[in-house]
Structure 1
Amino acid sequence: MTKISIKTSRELNEKVNGDYYRLKYHLMPSVGFLNDPNGFIQFNGEYHLFYQFNPLYPKDKMVYWAHVKSSDLIHWSMLSPALCPSEWYETHGCYSGSAVNNNGKLTLIYTGNVKNELGKRETYQCIAQSIDCEHFVKYKNNPVISNVPKGYTTHFRDPKVWKYDGLWYMAIGTQTEKEEGVVLLYRSEDLLAWNKIGEVAGANINGLDYLGYMWECPNLFNLDGKDILLFCPQGVEPKGDLYNNRYQCGYLLGKLDYKTGKLAYGDFIELDRGFEFYAPQVTQDEKGRLLLVGWMGIPEEEDSPTVKNNWLHCLTIIRELHIKNNKIYQNPVEEIKLLRTNETRYDNVLINNEQIKLDNIYGDCFELICDFSWENVLEFGIKLRCDDKENEKTLLYYNTEEKKIILDRCKSGLSKTGVRKCEIEKCKKLSIRLFMDKSSVEIFINKGEETFSSRIYPKKESKNIFFYAKGGIVNVNIKHWNI
């Protein structure tokens, strides 16, 4: 196992901390590469969150589990890495998984990744436990699932485990030998001996149109009386405004038969409309809330300007989920309000075929709420992170003819260019709540009906915010807080 010297660690941290694009209130790696959130759980009153972590990035690939904890989902403290590749069944990384409370022991279930001497992949499902919630001991008889079941490839990973009616269940992402994505369901009495029940859903099952060659990072949970399979299909072709990222994330909503393992479901629905959102993990806390955190990144997209400073990616803010109109609504957890300072408020601002700038509405770390209403207007919106001449800007606007909300980052600085759109039902009101944090923006439309999560890399000086309307008049109520 590769070790990091104290000197190297100190030098890397100095380089990382000097980067303007470091975020203020999002979780990010202290150094190196971050991807999938893992093991999200509330245990003995504290929230624990793990994530895939490569401290040596970009020089070597060594996948650990980083570990943070919090009492309020906002302020996190860093602990020692929970898992490091050290055993034969994980020589090439401790890959993604989940966490459960097993008789008072914080227990991690994860995929051990191996590349054998021929360069072929081997995958093993493993467990590790902790008594003090900080130091983890791997099960002496790991792996607990050694073999990929017949008919599937070694793309077999990311176990999500939960308890139902006294038994343990595991959803695991995999690929058939026909190279079609699928999620399998397993069952166990003790987390050690597992039996396959069947296929929950798959890329060509029950009339679902072909939906990719691999399904990663499954979550299977009940929300407001509905069973939901949330997962990340790889290999889905773009379709209009849909599926425009390299890899997608979305869900099927229906009813799970625990005896057969099959989910009765409807259409696949994208969870987030932004440029960077992948591998979310869901947990239920002691208040009964369904909470979600995602990776604000996409696999195989590593051309960020932060790479030269030896770090890459971040996680989203924590979100609470609900079902409304047979759709998942996402909203920031209530605790996010702890970050608010210096409120600025404007009521009933009329914007008539013009662009305006308001005093004290600017910055690179803030929360902004805008409630728009109108009778006749063609387009209105917000220009974020603008320089004085608008050579640099991030544009969020609503087109009333197309009935679409649009995020345009073609002039957002060093980020990749592009546009993301989604349709909003015809209405005369639109609510936008957004969170800016140096190099990220998370946008919540109509109290969580749609979300856009994206990374942007504007210049430090680009902090102006403008509001505008074209082809008519819009009324807006605005609240702004520094963070």
Structure 2
Amino acid sequence: MKKALLFGFLIIVLGISQADDRFRPQYHLLPPSNWLNDPNGPVYYNGYYHMFFQYDPDSPVGIMKYWGHFYSKDMVHWIGLPIAIAPDQPYDINGIWTGSTSIVNGVPIIIYTGINESHAQVQCQALPANLTDPTLSKWIKWPSNPLITSPNGRDPSTAFQDDHNNYYLIYAFDCDELSGQAVLFTSRDFVNWTYLHPIHSNHYDTFWECPDIFNVSNRLVMKVSLRGQDFWAVGELDPIQKNFRPLAGDVDEYTQLIDQGKFYASKSFYDPIHDQQVIVGWIGEDDDQGEKRGWQGMHSLPRSIFLSNDGLQLGSRPIEALQTLRVEESHRYFHNIVLPSTIPFELVHDDLDFGLSVLSTLDGSQRTSVGMMTRTNTTFMPNWDVPGWDYFSVPGITNSLDCQHACDQDIKCRSWTFDSAKQMNNNCFLKSGIPNLVASLTCTSGVKQSETKQQQQLVWVYINRTLSQRSSGTSRAPLAVVEVFESQGGRLAITTRVYPEEDTAQNLAVYVNSGSTTNQTIVIDTLDIWTLNSIWT
């Protein structure tokens, strides 16, 4: 008997609308209209949580950037406030870009990137106009702005201190010699900053964005955004050289992904009330209807960060406070479900082995599948591609066995694909990660033997969308967000946007693939379902 690992996962399906807009998600932070992207400067101060964000108040396509502002008593229900910082000075006239908030001598201080008159990136400071105002609704800019003008870079992090009360912050910087890097600055007074050196870098990545550095359970963590995704790594800071040294996996490696879906430009902060480090990411859109809707973008659910038992890996899960949104009388509980069974637990034909179909029509013609694909023999897989994470195309390869051998001989290689439809010298692709499988008639792929741990079963988790041809005159169903978290080790999270075409695409079903699970029994240990209230008070 085979037990379905999927339903050790916490699956949250989020969507529908605020009361006056059926297309707006109910449980994710976003302004009433127009453009939102990066979370900025989250902080807890004087009894309230504050979340700032990249905001264009005049356009849903993100032309000019301001800092929008929400505050909350519980990090669940949010209240909108006036714009916190606007581009109105020569040093930031072309945009208020990403930054962070630090508590300095009991005062919250923002450091942000301003885009000046010549479009250079400079680092600036803002302070609350009235510390007795619990909403911190008004901010004033430091009269000596900009504080840092070189090197040209952006997205300053929350500051940290050493044992001698020196402040440090990092921001992203791009140069020819070290393509992806974060640079380190220090200050005694949080006004006069001195450049030190790159705190961490590599020689092959694209420009790093939104770097962050923080502690989790007395371990130092660095986080960066690159290639459209966010990565983090546990490490330590050399006390003399002040360089970050990863302990198990670097910030550009596949295994260090925070979220395998749409989660980018994240910011974290320390929550002293619950003694947790919380991270929030930007969820961008996948469609081209933002201008028509009048808004685009939202933030992920707040996630609590924690360390693995060995102290070398990181995980995340939704903060516990989100459970207060559950409507208890809506709770449905299932235990020891044997698949296949009766509707709504049914067989479907899909690429995935087993999982959930959410936002599904009754006939299954439209659905979003959150499920697993499992393979025991993964070292050599004909008719499968593993697209992405390519770092080298091996010249002179004529067959899949030679491509497999090339991967085995390369210490960086974790998987490979040979594509017979491509020309020699561009048909064997070595990969630094293990991407999800995609069926292909021309490809053979494999995972390096050392990665499979002698034929240990590997599991890929997917979010797939199946849409029927939209009929003329059909109204579009409410939009949704799906966030998936592995509930045991917390190492896996996947976020996506969903755009159902039919109003009836609001059903849930558990499925197994009739083709891939022959002679096997899938057992779901427990499945809990709740309706959630809106976050909007």
TM-score after normalising by structure 1:
0.77
CA distance in 2, matches of 1:36, 1:441: 19
Note if 1:335 corresponds to 2:285: no
> Which secondary structure does the structure 2 equivalent of 1:57 belong to?
coil
- Cα distance in 2 for residues equivalent to 1:330 and 1:69: 23
Residue 94 to residue 226, structure 1, CA distance change in 2 (3 Å): same
Determine if the alignment matches structure 1 residue 409 to structure 2 residue 464: yes
Look up the match of 1:461.
504
Find the aligned partners of 1:213 and 1:163 in 2 and give their Cα distance: 26
Q: What is the correspondence of 1:261-272 to structure 2 with a 5 Å cutoff? A: 261-265=242-246, 266-268=248-250, 269-272=255-258
Cα 1:195–1:315 shift into 2, 3 Å: same
Q: Among 201, 213, 217, which residue is 1:224 paired with?
A: 217
Equivalent of 1:312 in 296, 312, 334: 296
Q: Which residue is equivalent to 1:162? A: 159
Aligned residue pairs total 398
SS at match of 1:337: helix
Of 125, 128, 139, 2:126 maps to: 128
Mapped to 2, the partners of 1:112 and 1:395 lie a distance apart of: 42
List alignment gaps of at least 5 residues for structure 2.
1-17, 346-351, 377-457, 470-477, 533-537
1:440 aligns with 2:447: no
- Measured in 2, the distance between the counterparts of 1:457 and 1:47 equals 31
Structure 1: distance between partners of 2:24 and 2:60:
17
Amino acid at match of 1:136: W
* Higher mean C-alpha deviation, range 170-179 or range 442-451: 170-179
Deviation at 1:461, TM superposition (A): 2.1
Deviation at 1:68, TM superposition (A): 0.6
Instruction: Report the Cα distance in structure 2 between the residues aligned to 1:273 and 1:127, rounded to whole angstroms.
Output: 31
Percent identity at matched positions?
A: 27
Higher relative contact order (CA 8 A, sep 6+): 2
Q: Is the 8 A contact 1:83 1:136 kept in 2?
A: yes
Q: 1:353 to 1:480 in 2, by over 3 A?
A: closer
Alpha-carbon deviation of 1:195? Answer: 1.0
- Which letter does structure 1 place at the counterpart of 2:269? T
Q: 1-side partners of 2:244 and 2:45: how far apart?
A: 29
Q: Kindly report which structure 2 residues correspond to 1:101-140, keeping only aligned pairs within 5 A, or say none.
A: 101-114=103-116, 116=118, 121-130=119-128, 131=131, 132=133, 133-140=136-143
Q: 1:246-271, CA deviations, whole angstroms, 9 ceiling, x for partnerless residues?
A: x2210122111254221111423443
- Whole-Å Cα distance in 1 between the matches of residues 322 and 60 of structure 2? 32
Q: 1:57 offset after TM fit, Å?
A: 1.7
1:395 to 358, 363, 369: 369
- The verdict on how the C-alpha distance between 1:293 and 1:139 changes in structure 2, with shifts beyond 3 A counting, is same
The 5-angstrom pairing of residues 346-365 of structure 1 reads 346-354=333-341, 356-357=343-344
Q: CA deviation at 1:179?
A: 6.3
**CA radius of gyration, larger in:** 2
Shift of the 258–91 alpha-carbon distance from structure 1 to 2, 3 Å rule, reads farther
Change (3 A) 1:412 1:30: farther
1:482 aligns to 2:523 (yes or no) = no
Q: Could you tell me how far apart the structure 2 residues matched to 1:161 and 1:319 are?
A: 18
Q: Equivalent residue for 1:362? A: none
1:97-151 deviations in Å (ceiling 9; x for gaps) = 00022233321110001362xxxx3011000000332210000110000222xxx
Q: Secondary structure at the match of 2:157?
A: strand
For 2:358, the equivalent position in structure 1 comes to 384
Task: Provide closer, same or farther for how the CA distance between residues 306 and 388 of structure 1 changes in structure 2, counting only shifts above 3 A.
Answer: farther
Residues in 2 aligned to 1:52 and 1:262: alpha-carbon distance in whole angstroms: 30
Quick one: distance in 2 between partners of 1:60 and 1:178?
31
The answer to whether the Cα contact below 8 Å between 1:182 and 1:202 also exists between their aligned partners in 2 is yes
How far is the alpha carbon of 1:62 from its aligned partner? 1.6
Q: 1:284-313 deviations in whole A, cap 9, x for unaligned?
A: 11132111111112xxx6744333121001
1:413-428 superposed matches below 5 A: none
Take 2:88 and 2:172, find their aligned partners in 1: how far apart are those partners? 24
CA distance in 2 between counterparts of 1:439 and 1:183 reads 35
Task: Output the TM-score relative to the length of structure 2.
Answer: 0.70
Asked if the contact 1:348–1:475 (Cα under 8 Å) also holds between the matched residues in 2, the reply is no
Q: Tell me, yes or no, if structure 1 residue 283 matches structure 2 residue 269.
A: yes
Distance 1:344 1:18 in 2: 26
Deviating above 6 A after TM superposition, structure 1's stretches of 4 or more consecutive aligned residues are none
Matches of 1:60 and 1:335, distance apart in 2? 31
Alpha carbons of structure 1 residues 411 and 288: separation in structure 2 relative to 1, 3 Å:
same
Q: Which residue of 2 aligns with 1:49?
A: 51
Aligned equivalents of 2:355 and 2:286: distance in 1? Answer: 30
- The answer to whether the 8 Å contact 1:21/1:306 transfers is no
Q: 2:144 aligns with which of 115, 136, 141?
A: 141
Gaps of 5+ in 1: 1-15, 149-153, 205-209, 235-246, 359-377, 415-436
